[in-house]
Each structure stands twice: as C-alpha cells, then as structure tokens.
Structure 1
Amino acid sequence: MEETQTYVTSSPRLFTWKDVGLHMGKGHPQQERWLVINRKVYDISQFHRQHPGGSRVISHYAGQDATDAFVAFHLDKALVRKYMTPLLIGELAPDQPRIEPHKNKLLVQDFQELRATIERMGLLKASGLFFFLYFLHILLLEAVSWIILWYFGVSPVPFFISAVLIATAMVQNGFLQHDLGHLSVFSKPKWNHLGSHFVMGFLQGGSASWWKHLHNQHHAKPNCFHKDPDLNMHPLLFALGKKLSVELGRKKKKYMPYNHQHKYYFITMPPFLIPVYVAFHTVFKAIQRKQCVDLAFSLSFVIRFILMYKPLLGVMGLLMFHELVRVLQSTWFTWVSQMNHIPMNIDYDKNMDWFTTQLQGTCNVHPSPFNDWFTGHLNFQIEHHLFPTMPRHNYWKVAPLVKSLCTKHGIEYQCKSLITAFADIVRSLKESGELWLDAYLHK
C-alpha cells in the first residue's frame, strides 16, 4: 500500500518488459508476481490468493502482459479496476513498446480492434428468449423421461429410452452451465453465478466452484502444459501432443502402453470421466475447500433424483439408472469436449499473444442446426475461446470476422466435419503414442 501511495502522490515507478518478466512467481526469490494491463504494472503476489476467478488463472500471466485476457474475462471492467488500484505499483517506461517486443504488434492491434468492433455491434449481449427456450427444452426432456417410466413401466426398452432422454438433458444442462459460468446469459455477474450453482448443482449434482476454478485456467492458457488443467490428468493415461509424448519417452516413463492409447481411449475416458473422475474430484475438492454452498446444491440434486425415480425404480433400479445416465452423459460430453483440443498443438506456455494462443489450441466443427445443438455451440470453439463471455447464439456472426483476421495474418483457421473431428481424436492419440514409443525405445 505504501508503494501505491507513492505512485499516486509522486512520479510513477517505471519498469521495462524485462523487469516484469523477472517476476513470474515460480523461481523468483520472493515468489513475486507482477503483470501488465494496459501498460500499468500490478503486483499480484498476495492478491492472487483472493482472486475471485481462482489463484492459478491470474498467476498464469505473472511476468506477462495480461491485457487481452483481462478484457476477455471481465464484464464489469470499471468495477474490477477499483479493486486493482491497491495493486498498482507503476507503469511501463515511455521507451517501452505498448506490446511485448516478441509479439506480432500488428496482429495484437488488429485483434483489439476486432474486439472493439464486436462490442459496438452488441454481440456480447445475450438474448433472453434464446436462453429461456433452451432451459425450457431441458425441462421438457426431463419431464418426458419421467413420464415414460411412469406410464410404460421399467421394462428394458422404456428404461433405456428414459435414460437416454435424461442423459441428453444432463448434457444440455452442462452446456447451459457453461454459458452461465462464462457470464454470457445475464448482464449482471451475480445472476450468472447463482444460475451456475443452480444448474451445475441442483440439476447436475456437480460443483460450480470446482468447474470455474479449472475451466478459467483452461481458457487462459489452452493446451499449455502445466497451465491448462485439462492436460494434468492425462499423463497417467495418455501421452498427448508431439513434444510432450517425446519427453515422456525420453524420460522412460511408462504409466501406460501409450502406443495403444488410441485403442483403450474408447473404454477409459468417454464412459468413466464423469461417473468416476468428476464425481470423486468435485466432492473431494468441495469438502477440502469447505465449499458449503456447492455441497448443499449437490445434495439437493441427490434428494431430487431419489424423490423422482425411486418410487418408479426401487433402490437397485435407481442405482442402475443413475449409472447408465452418467455413462451416457460422460460419453457424449467427452467426445465433444476433446474434439476441439486434443488434435491441436500442445506445448509449454510460449507467452504468445491472446489470438495466436487460442487459435493454436482450438479448432471448429462445421455449423448446422444439429451440430450447434449436439455440441452446445462448442463447434464454434475458436470464437468461444477468443470471446469467452459472448453469448453462444452470436458466434456465427463473428466467425467471418475472425476468419478474415486469420487470412490477413496467415494463421490457420481449422474447421472440419463432426465425424472428422471425432476421428482426429483417435488419429492424434495414435500419432503421439507412436512418437512416445519411438523415443522410449531409443536414447
């Protein structure tokens, strides 16, 4: 605070990009973390622990320019800046470039102009009717699922059809929670947060806080090893990416026979991600962090599910029904969530500009009414990653502008069919597994 007062009452402290780059936290003697937003230098060494979006997501930008990430993640920037004032320790010296020297200045400027353009076009404003109808169709799926069991009984056919319908509702719930978690449904963040807890907890049985903590990091540094938590669980089961697979091989690490990972993927990740990993991890973290709100919402889901289906199915039938629903939900979700990232470039953080970082780690799937619904508009993964708070129904409007910017700067804009996207998951696993084996067998 003393440094802040000095800044306000006298000349600001001046820094170079090199000064900022030395304060990355890890490896620094005092574990200091600095970052830059619009040429202002902030010390987040203590604040990162209180950061509402999570400690790690803001720390991933320590020693770097976080301007575009800051703009992408925050709706009410004026309010956020009030909390940033005590963290301000100075600014970049006048002779320092506005953009980090190693980055493409023209690309960064063009992207920031694109961002300003979509704001003027109103593409960050949500359609209440779209999300109301979307929520209504989820409730309809749940209602029809219950009615089928109530009317036709628990013989195998209605049992399975009902499970498919409720699993579909669960997947679509997940997509809606994703919208709420990105603050893209309501204009006020608090309503998005409340809606996220309701949908993720009461309707899904999960933890909104757990999701936010991990997913924000994924968006900040997609496909960056040690920074994207979606990669952290993989080394025990899969060798991902060309570079990391070779590293595992050279280190003689063989947790699994990775050269066969494209085969065992089908019986590991898709059916068990949600019923095993997510189910355990969400409850464990909620208890560990004493997140009573998340636990209460999760408990409300369990009570709701029992009250709805136990009278129709009995105890054993209820357990079988629940697990079948979770396996179906997990299979659907896993294929959709992995198709945009696993086949893409996976590497350590190279501190590239926001636009390049997102384009290297994401790809799209051709739009169509079915693809849009089936993927929850995550077939527009590029646009979603560039503008995470944009309501999904506006992705198709901004896509041509993003493509144009890619063409101008010679950046590949990958868009493929849904089947090709799924096949590319298996293909990339096969390729990285072969790279691991070759490195493992040779010095």
Structure 2
Amino acid sequence: MTEASLPRGGGYAELFAQVREAGLMDRRRARYLVKILVTALVFGAVAVAFVMIGDSWWQLVTGAAFAALFVQFGFIGHDAGHLQIFASKRANDVVGYVHGDLLIGLGYGWWVGKHNAHHANPNHEERDPDVDLGVFALTEAQASGPTAPRRGPIGRFVLRHQAGLFFPMLLLEGVDLHISAVRSLVARRVPRLRLEIVLLVAHTALYFAAVFLVLSPGVAVVFIVVHQGLFGLYLGCSFAPGHKGMPMPTATEKLDPVRSQVLTSRNIVGGRVTDLVLGGLNYQIEHHLFPRMPRMNLRHARPLVRAFCDRHAIPYTETSLIESYAQGLRHLRAISAPARLGT
C-alpha cells in the first residue's frame, strides 16, 4: 500500500487494532502497584538515611538520590495523567495528585492540561506549548520572526549561545515548574483548585521543615540547590530526547494522525535500564501513538509500529541517547546562527 492509498487517518485504526489484539492496551495494575510500592520504599529508606546522617555535607549525596526519586515519582504521575494505570479517571487522578502535588510539589492539574495539548499537536510551531521554551528559540520565528519576543541584553546573549546553555539552564527546570504550578493556582487554571492548594502547601511545609530541622542553615541551602538543580536536570534530560531537533510542523502542513506523531518523535535505543531511567519515554513514538498504553507494554509495541512504518514508508527515527542530545543541540545552534553572525 502506498502513501497515497493509505486510508483516512493514515492507517491509525489498522495499527491500533493490531496493538489491541496483542493485548498491549490492557492495564498492568499489578506491575504499577509494585513500581509505586518499590519507589515509595526506596524513598523511605533515603529519608531514614537523611535523618540518620544529620547535619553533614554528605547530605548532598542524599540530595542527588532524592532528585532521582522525585523524577521517578514524576514518571508515575505522568502515567496517571495519561490514564495508563487504572481504568477509572478518579483512581488515576488520586495517584497523580499524590505524586505530582504532594510528593514533588508540581501542579498536576495544570500539567495534565498542558501535556495533553502537547500530545494533540507535538512539536507544532504554534500549537504545542512545549515548543515555547521562553529564552530559547526552537524556530526561526521565535528567534527573529515578527512574533519573536523582545530580548534584552541577557536574552540576546542566551539566544546566541543557547546550544551551550541548554543543559546548564535545565538546572532551573524544577524551579520553573514549581513557579508555573503556583501561577496556575493564582490564575485559577486548574480543575481542583482547593485540593491542589492544600497539597502544594503541605508539600512545601513538609519539605522545608524536614530540611531545616535536620540541617544547619548553610548546609540546608546548599542541599536545596543541589536537590532542585539535579531534579530539573534529570527531568529535562528525560523529556528533551523525544522531540528536540525533530521536524516542527506549521499551520500550513496537514499531517494525518499517524505521521503527526511519528515524524515529530524520536525513540532512544537501550534495554531495561534505559526504560527505568527514562520512565518509558524512550519509546516516544509508541507513547505518542498510544498515550494510554501502560509504559511496560511500549517495548512490545515497538516492533509492530516499526513494521507498520516500514510497510507504509513512514520514517521511524531511533537513535542513542547521546546522539539525540547532539541532534537537539545542533538544531539549537542552527536556529541561533543568525543571532551569532549578526544577520
């Protein structure tokens, strides 16, 4: 079957029928409950170590461990937001609000709306909220087009050197997400305002109480900087490989549902360790095609999706983690070239 003869929807119904027949859309509740329990137990163990170590610079090691655990909690909240864990939206929301708001201090309600908009139009120059990175420019229009933001001296410096600054500025990603959560509450852009206020206040109170009761002020401040910085870096490094440097459709381009997801996404090769470290986001193509598919099933869907893409001559991008970062940085550097050259 050629591209021109593909059915309406780019053959999505055919592909979905294949994965559903293979049982890959079935819930994996037991696996998720084990994952949640194990992550909670590890968190508890690190918390006990934090108290036992006391006021010591060795706490920077526990800060790094907490950063990794916060991202793992975030992955669970991400899966709950996609309704991957339970059939009931309410049950998924309970998991999402606990892991998002209470445990890591991010606004689950705000994030779900933003993330759903991203999935509906991935990498779309005008419709994907994840394309708007503030000081960074992912498109020529963002860099120097008529709709480009006004940039002061600092903004122009960042634009010129955005490839080199990308990873260092990810250290601020966690703080930015905390601020965005608060802004969403102030603007009342969340479906359960009171619940999120209570959970975020509880998280903030418990977090600062634990840190400043156990640590002296100087160590506490450095601990927070290390913890939040590494949390943002790990989180950003987990989400960036999926789309940065991939094609970015514009309003004039009409893509069918399959191509709109596959052409804009990139998979990361690796084994079970990669699956754990990236929370299943390494199967970005399959995740975007089937956002409600449990992450444990994505690796099994990959051969079906790749075979489908091969049959219909749809480019299927898969690369190493390091190469994905290199591609993203090359894209950032190319977009900033006019600013560096003064053109």
Counterpart in 2 of 1:164? 64
Deviations along 1:365-387, one digit per CA (max 9) or x if unpaired, are: 00311111110010000000000
Runs of 4 or more consecutive aligned structure 1 residues displaced over 6 Å after TM superposition: 249-253
Matched, 1:294 2:294: no
Match in the other structure for 1:204: 104
Q: 1:416 aligns with which of 319, 323, 330?
A: 319
1:109/1:361 Cα in 2 relative to 1: closer, same or farther (>3 Å)?
A: closer
Report the counterpart of residue 46 of structure 1 in structure 2: none
Q: 2:55 aligns with which of 149, 154, 161?
A: 154
Q: Is the 8 A contact 1:259 1:436 kept in 2?
A: yes
- For 1:35-50, what aligned pairs fall within 5 Å after superposition? none
User: Structure 2 length as normaliser, TM-score?
Assistant: 0.89
The structural deviation recorded for 1:433 is 1.6
Q: Spell out, residue by residue over 1:387-429, the C-alpha distance to the aligned partner (whole angstroms, 9 max, x if none).
A: 0010000001111111111111211111111111122222221
Rate the CA distance shift 1:384–1:435 in 2: closer, same or farther, 3 A. Answer: farther
Please say if residues 73 and 103 of structure 2, whose CA atoms lie closer than 8 Å, have aligned partners that are also in contact: yes
Match of 1:385 among 278, 284, 288: 288
Q: Does residue 332 of the first structure (1) align with residue 234 of the second (2)?
A: yes
C-alpha change, 1:311 and 1:436, in structure 2 (3 Å) is closer
Aligned pair 1:140/2:38, yes or no?
A: no
Pick from 76, 79, 84 the counterpart of residue 179 of structure 1. Answer: 79
Classify 1:249/1:283 alpha carbon distance in 2 versus 1 (closer, same or farther; 3 Å): closer
Shift of 1:184: 0.2
User: Within 2, Cα distance between the matches of 1:321 and 1:117?
Assistant: 49
- CA distance in 2: counterparts of 1:182 and 1:284, whole angstroms: 23
Match of 1:130 among 9, 31, 50: 31
Q: Structure 1 residues 216 and 151 mapped into 2: Cα distance closer, same or farther (>3 Å)?
A: same
Cα deviation, 1:314-366, whole Å, max 9, x if unaligned, reads 45544432332111010011122111111101232323111111112110000
RMSD: 2.5
Task: Establish whether residue 284 from structure 1 lines up as the match of residue 187 from structure 2.
Answer: no
For 1:361, the equivalent position in structure 2 comes to: 264
Bigger shift: residues 159-168 or 378-387? 159-168
Do the aligned partners of 2:174 and 2:229 also contact (CA within 8 Å) in 1? yes
Q: Would the aligned equivalents of 2:172 and 2:232 in 1 still touch at CA under 8 Å?
A: yes
Alignment of structure 1 residues 51-200 onto 2, 5 Å? 105-106=6-7, 108=9, 110-156=11-57, 158-200=58-100
Whether 1:233 and 2:133 are equivalent positions in the alignment is: yes
Which residue of the other structure, out of 249, 254, 258, is the alignment partner of 1:351? 254
Matched with 1:266 is 167
How far 1:284 moved relative to its partner? 1.4
**Quick one: higher RCO (CA 8 Å, sep 6+), 1 or 2?**
2
Q: Give ranges in structure 1 of 5+ residues lacking alignment.
A: 1-101
- Alpha-carbon distance between aligned partners in 1 of 2:101 and 2:143, rounded to the nearest angstrom: 40
Determine if contact 2:119/2:288 at 8 Å carries over to the other structure. yes
Shift of 1:249: 8.8
| Structure 1 Cα separation of the partners of residues 10 and 247 of structure 2 | 24
Cα 1:249/1:265, change in 2 over 3 Å:
farther
Which structure has the bigger radius of gyration? Answer: 1
- Offset at residue 247 of structure 1 (A): 5.4
User: What is the CA-CA distance between 1:312 and the residue it aligns to?
Assistant: 1.4
Aligned length: 333
Partner AA of 2:136 in structure 1:
F
Partner of 1:320: 222
Q: TM-score, normalised on structure 1? A: 0.70
Cα contact 2:125–2:248 (8 A) shared by 1 = yes
